[in-house]
Chain A
Amino acid sequence: MFGRIITLVIKEFLELRRDKWARFRLVVPPLIQMIIFGYAATFEVFGVSTAVLDFDHSQESRELISRFTYSGRFHIVKVAQAEPEINAAIDSGDAVVAIVIHPEFARLLRKGQSAPVQVVVDGTNSNTALISLGYVGEIAAQFAQDYATDLAQRLHGAQGPPAAQVVLEQRPWYNKDFNSRWFFVPGIIAMVILTMLVNLLSFAVVREREVGTLEQIMVTPIRPLEFILGKSIPFFLVGMALVALIVAVGTLWFRIPFVGNPLVLLLGTSLYLLSILGVGLLISTLCQTQQQAFATNFFVVNPMVTLSGFATPISSMPDVLQWLTCVDPVRYYLIIIRGTFVKGVGLAELWPQMAALAILGTGLLAASILRFRKSLD
């Protein structure tokens, strides 16, 4: 049995060695995806295009505007003279945020009254809008506080009676600077491997079926189980090599810290590969042609990505979708890969995810072996 499996594995690697184009397809697309998407995927907000309309032209209003510029979060692209210019800038998308300071601004401030500042935000991208509003609020609050202390000092010569205050101290763990890339790059590794391997494996099996070489193999003494193992083992090894390659890109190119234990990631990755190869094989048993395999892959892989928590937290999804995520191997792998990369947790914390992957993997592989036997008839 082992002799026959090894023969099959060698056959697959020979095919790969002779097909220059296939080797190119195996290495270059994941690298390109990893690098471009590593740069593209971010929810961070810096240098938001901002328009300002300052009716007041006072020292105070200029001070407030300069605080926006110096924060690095806002980039002033337009200094407007009248209201319609602001509206046009937001309409055309030239500016995402507009700040309007009323003519009475400094006068009200000096009197210790509440001075209004109007902020217009283009809400088309709700996430950017929400985060920008948060920064606007922060800058305004800081300005207000500084101004109030300053005013109190000028009026009373010293600080007035302290008002009762409850303040929130932030302690971000694991990712102290809220760096978006630390979150996305490990996720991209999981995505790239998923799409590559499911496609490659299901196509490799279906092609044999479509071209008719599967029947030839089945008349040899090779049994279905041996055939499946012979097909999966090369892809498992290729998958491992690819993970190593793109993890190297993640740590060396993107400088994502790897604080955990590499062995834990290795174990998690093997279990993950087991499940996604199971998915690929199961798809291949359901399809007769490559076009069908392609369509089915799409139906399966896309929900797996969406439900995995890759970009948006699972806890914000509707309940029904949250239950569905429990059978998504990517969900568990994301916890493992982010846990080992950024959080530095080990087997003690990650064993539930490991167990879930092992169960899903064996279940999927067993199902595909059973289905494969049937699909031969």
Chain B
Amino acid sequence: MRARRVRAIAWKEFLQVWRDPRSLMIALLMPFIQIMLLGYGVSVDIKHIPTCTFDREDSQRSEALLKRFQASEYFRIVEVESNYAGVTEALDYGRCKLAIVLPATFSQRLTDVGRSEVQAILDATDDNTANVALGYAQSVVAGFSADVELRQSARRGSPLQNTPLALEPRVWFNEDLNSRNFIVPGIVAMVLALVGAQLTSLTIAREWERGTMEVLISTPVTPSELMIGKVLPYFAIGLLDAAFCISLAVFWFEVPFRGTLATLLFTTSLYLVVVLGIGYLISVLIRSQIGASAIALLATLLPTMLLSGYTFPIDQMPWPVQAITYLVPSRYYVTIVKAVFLKGAGLAQLAVPISLLAVYAAVIAFLAARAFHKRLS
């Protein structure tokens, strides 16, 4: 292997990216757009749930309860209905996700029987939002109920009964349960999968399509020199993108970073070897650019989005799908990135995912180096 030839190939590949504004854009601007869009757009924290109310009693007490909904930042009262048909319509049209219906006997029953039901009608099409909304509504109602109880027992002069169980929840690693803290580190994995596999997947296919492959084959370059030369510029771009994303995550989104940079740099390089190798392998095997990019998309980006644990927890998937996730390299990297960011994990705690990623990198590099033959057909 000659360093001079590797350098020549790498320089040529670099110039090709540098002079193609759109490739440059995908390499440099895309990470920015991606992290901003997902950082702000994908928030699993549910707030401002569009809500309508239907108060059949219209008393002081019912109003007091509805005021509590109004004051909560989790609900946004968009409509006040005066009949049941209005409620149905608001949900059918999708203008509201939640309807709070107070019965006509609300305060009367509360005084007489000591118990009143409030109805929460939910648009459960989006089950997750509905579930979370229900939880918030429950706590609003429970707060109101406790207040009523408190006032009643104060009037009666009897001591307040203790709730027999006091839950003391402690949340670790992401203390405020901020979904951004778990989404944003994962974006690094996505950006790298994209830049790495997508850009490299086109490099060899392009040479075939443009007819420059024949020239390349006639030079003394060996297959492994070609691979390393082709991949090196993208490795540099990938590291640059990773650094960029990580700084945005830490300084712009203020995601806590509790691990060490060295751990992150080491694992990121390992992951880059895997995705670049996959991209190169696809590029060698599929000689058309459309085919190569479509396969690369199918093989890297979509699994990273859905099967890596980036948003959807792996342990909730059925076992055949869980088995597939072991083949997805981003699964290991997403685990690592999140642990380094939020848990401050070091090499010792991450030994398992890191070694699996290393095995993956070795296998892919071996396959990629052997895949290319200097033959025309």
> Are A and B physically bound partners?
yes
Given A29-B298, A41-B312, A166-B141, A299-B128 contact (CB < 8 Å): no
Instruction: Give A307 to B318 CA distance when docked, in angstroms.
Output: 28
> Which residues of chain A have C-beta atoms less than 8 A from B198's C-beta?
294, 298
Check B321 against A39 for contact (C-beta < 8 Å): yes
Check A316 against B45 for contact (C-beta < 8 Å): yes
> Which residues of chain A have C-beta atoms less than 8 A from B179's C-beta?
126-127
Of A36, A290, A296, which contacts B290 at CB under 8 A?
Answer: A290
Check A173 against B122 for contact (C-beta < 8 Å): yes
Closest CB in chain A relative to B29 CB, distance in Å: 8
Q: How many A-B residue pairs have CB under 8 A?
A: 319
Check A174 against B124 for contact (C-beta < 8 Å): yes
**CB under 8 Å from chain A, chain B span 24-44:** 25-26, 30, 33-34, 37-38, 40-44
Check A162 against B297 for contact (C-beta < 8 Å): no
Residues 89-114 of A, flagged 1 when their CB comes within 8 A of B and 0 if not, give 01111000000000000000100111
Check A180 against B164 for contact (C-beta < 8 Å): no
Instruction: Give A291 to B200 CA distance when docked, in angstroms.
Output: 11
> Which residues of chain B have C-beta atoms less than 8 A from A173's C-beta?
91, 121-124
Given A91-B349, A114-B163, A183-B126, A124-B289 contact (CB < 8 Å): no
Given A114-B165, A302-B34, A312-B43 contact (CB < 8 Å): yes
Closest CB in chain A relative to B168 CB, distance in Å: 5
**CB under 8 Å from chain A, chain B span 170-205:** 170-179, 181-182, 194, 198, 202
Check B165 against A117 for contact (C-beta < 8 Å): yes
> Which residues of chain A have C-beta atoms less than 8 A from B345's C-beta?
91
Check B313 against A118 for contact (C-beta < 8 Å): no
Of A147, A166, A290, which contacts B145 at CB under 8 A?
Answer: A166
Q: Does B70 contact A (CB under 8 A)?
A: no
Check B125 against A183 for contact (C-beta < 8 Å): yes
Instruction: Give A234 to B162 CA distance when docked, in angstroms.
Output: 71
Check B164 against A123 for contact (C-beta < 8 Å): no
Of all chain B residues, the one with the shortest Cβ separation from A121 is B171
Of all chain A residues, the one with the shortest Cβ separation from B131 is A178
Check A39 against B317 for contact (C-beta < 8 Å): yes
Given A43-B127, A44-B316, A120-B172 contact (CB < 8 Å): yes
Q: Which of A45, A143, A295, A299 is packed against the most chain B CB atoms within 10 Å?
A: A295
Check B41 against A321 for contact (C-beta < 8 Å): yes
Residues 315-336 of B, flagged 1 when their CB comes within 8 A of A and 0 if not, give 1111011001000000000010
Given A33-B302, A164-B148, A115-B165 contact (CB < 8 Å): yes
Q: Does B7 contact A (CB under 8 A)?
A: no
Given A92-B349, A182-B127, A317-B41, A171-B120 contact (CB < 8 Å): yes
> Which residues of chain B have C-beta atoms less than 8 A from A345's C-beta?
92-93
Of all chain A residues, the one with the shortest Cβ separation from B145 is A166
Check A45 against B43 for contact (C-beta < 8 Å): no
> Which residues of chain B have C-beta atoms less than 8 A from A199's C-beta?
290, 293-294, 297
Given A170-B120, A174-B124, A199-B294, A115-B164 contact (CB < 8 Å): yes
Instruction: Give A183 to B126 CA distance when docked, in angstroms.
Output: 5
Q: Does A47 contact B (CB under 8 A)?
A: yes
Check B122 against A123 for contact (C-beta < 8 Å): no
Q: Does A25 contact B (CB under 8 A)?
A: yes
Binds A, one of B110-118, B231-239, B367-375: B110-118
**CB under 8 Å from chain B, chain A span 165-190:** 165-176, 178-180, 182-183
Residues 53-87 of B, flagged 1 when their CB comes within 8 A of A and 0 if not, give 00000000000010000000000100000000000
Check B171 against A316 for contact (C-beta < 8 Å): no
Of A47, A136, A321, A339, which contacts B167 at CB under 8 A?
Answer: A136
Given A163-B161, A167-B115, A312-B41, A175-B124 contact (CB < 8 Å): yes
Residues 114-138 of A, flagged 1 when their CB comes within 8 A of B and 0 if not, give 1111111111111111110110110
**CB under 8 Å from chain B, chain A span 256-303:** 287, 289-292, 294-296, 298-299, 302-303
> Which residues of chain B have C-beta atoms less than 8 A from A292's C-beta?
20, 22-23
> Which residues of chain A have C-beta atoms less than 8 A from B40's C-beta?
317-318, 321
Binds A, one of B132-140, B216-224, B243-251, B267-275: B132-140
Check B163 against A144 for contact (C-beta < 8 Å): yes
Given A41-B312, A174-B125, A306-B42, A169-B174 contact (CB < 8 Å): no
Instruction: Give A137 to B312 CA distance when docked, in angstroms.
Output: 23
Closest CB in chain A relative to B187 CB, distance in Å: 11
Q: Does B307 contact A (CB under 8 A)?
A: yes
Q: Does A228 contact B (CB under 8 A)?
A: no
Check B37 against A339 for contact (C-beta < 8 Å): no
Instruction: Give A335 to B92 CA distance when docked, in angstroms.
Output: 11
Instruction: Give A166 to B62 CA distance when docked, in angstroms.
Output: 11
> Which residues of chain B have C-beta atoms less than 8 A from A166's C-beta?
65, 110, 115-118, 141, 144-145, 148
Closest CB in chain A relative to B200 CB, distance in Å: 12
> Which residues of chain B have C-beta atoms less than 8 A from A299's C-beta?
25-26, 30, 33
> Which residues of chain B have C-beta atoms less than 8 A from A165's C-beta?
114-116, 145, 149
Check B94 against A133 for contact (C-beta < 8 Å): no
Given A316-B47, A343-B125, A126-B181 contact (CB < 8 Å): yes
Closest A-B pairs by Cβ, 4 of them: A123-B174, A172-B124, A175-B124, A144-B165
Q: Which residues of A contact B (CB under 8 A)?
A: 21, 25, 29, 32-33, 36-37, 39-49, 90-93, 109, 112-131, 133-134, 136-137, 140-141, 143-144, 147-148, 151, 162-176, 178-180, 182-183, 195, 199, 203, 207, 287, 289-292, 294-296, 298-299, 302-303, 306-307, 311-313, 315-318, 321, 335, 338-339, 342-343, 345, 349
28 A–B contacts from the bound complex (CB under 8 Å): A92-B349, A109-B164, A113-B162, A114-B162, A116-B168, A118-B168, A121-B170, A126-B45, A126-B178, A127-B179, A147-B165, A164-B115, A164-B148, A164-B149, A166-B145, A167-B141, A171-B119, A171-B120, A173-B122, A199-B297, A203-B290, A294-B202, A312-B41, A316-B47, A316-B48, A321-B37, A339-B94, A345-B93
Q: Which residues of B contact A (CB under 8 A)?
A: 20, 22-23, 25-26, 30, 33-34, 37-38, 40-50, 65, 76, 91-94, 97, 110, 113-132, 134-135, 137-138, 141, 144-145, 148-149, 152-153, 161-179, 181-182, 194, 198, 202, 206, 289-291, 293-294, 297-298, 302, 306-307, 311-313, 315-318, 320-321, 324, 335, 338-339, 342-343, 345, 349
